[in-house]
Amino acid sequence: MNNQHPFIPYNLPNFSAEELLKKSKEYLEFFEGRRTVREFSDKDVPKKVIENIIKTASTSPSGAHKQPWTFCVVSSKEIKKKIREAAEKEEYESYNNRMPDTWLKDLEPFQTDWHKPFLETVPWIIVVFKKAYDITDGKKTNNYYVNESVGLACGFLLNAIYHCGLAALTHTPSPMNFLTKVLNRPENERPFLLIPVGYLAEGAKVPELKRKSLEEVSVFYE
């Protein structure tokens, strides 16, 4: 028994096969309705809600439980404007000079372009930073599987947002290093994903798309 690192009892519900089927189906049906959106309302979302969403994301598994993430949460109009201006500058370059034709063609169904007005419309922008390493008592300490860990936390974050009936976009203005500057982040943090969060705009539309079938996304070895 290692007293410095104690284990505590843990339980899961032990549902019957029928209950499992019901629960898994309900969850699937719920998530089939999740969509990425780009049209947001400016209606306020309480700060406490965003705090709970971030606490949920932070329950995600991570390499050696290092939780190598920082969620920067922006509601300041001034900072949102700065983010929009810098993102649009990069996106203008990307759409006009950096993205190859094949990429632009793949994006046609989404009707995206360099304009990002939602960055000022939304009540909240969550900018997720990954921590390449940590500084503990002034010393560099390692983090592990940082991309996997932060990617998982972002998945948890998106699910928590959707669970509240709120809208979100996984936005990756590229390159993203302007966010380090605008948000004044330390050297060990790198921008990972920018997620505007808010109510859906009235009359919002999303592109019609089909998801891959189970057969297309899985292989069972029985």
Kindly list the residues in this chain that would bind ligand IYR in the complex (CB under 6 A).
91, 107, 110, 112, 171-174
Which of 123/173 has CB closer to ligand IYR?
A: 173
Type of residue at 85:
E
- CB atoms under 10 Å from CB of 15, counted, come to 12
The answer to whether 150 touches 128, Cβ cutoff 8 Å, is yes
Q: Which two tokens stand for residue 134?
A: 């940590």
In angstroms, what is the minimal distance from the CB of 121 to ligand IYR? 15
The answer to whether 54 touches 43, Cβ cutoff 8 Å, is no
In angstroms, what is the minimal distance from the CB of 18 to ligand IYR? 39
Which of 139/212 has CB closer to ligand IYR?
A: 212
In angstroms, what is the minimal distance from the CB of 192 to ligand IYR? 14
Which of 21/107 has CB closer to ligand IYR?
A: 107
Which of 30/110 has CB closer to ligand IYR?
A: 110
Strands (E) located in 117-218: 124-131, 133-136, 139-142, 167-168, 189-198
C-alpha span between 129 and 161 (Å, rounded): 18
**Beta 124-131 vs 133-136: how paired, if at all?**
unpaired
Which of 114/162 has CB closer to ligand IYR?
A: 114
Please give the DSSP secondary-structure letter assigned to residue 59: T
Residue nearest to ligand IYR (CB): 112
In angstroms, what is the minimal distance from the CB of 74 to ligand IYR? 17
Q: Which residues 6+ apart lie within 8 Å of 81 measured at CB?
A: 120
Q: Does residue 69 sit in helix, strand or coil?
A: strand
Q: Which two tokens stand for residue 98?
A: 């950096």
Which of 95/133 has CB closer to ligand IYR?
A: 95
In angstroms, what is the minimal distance from the CB of 110 to ligand IYR? 6
In angstroms, what is the minimal distance from the CB of 136 to ligand IYR? 34
The answer to whether 164 touches 88, Cβ cutoff 8 Å, is no
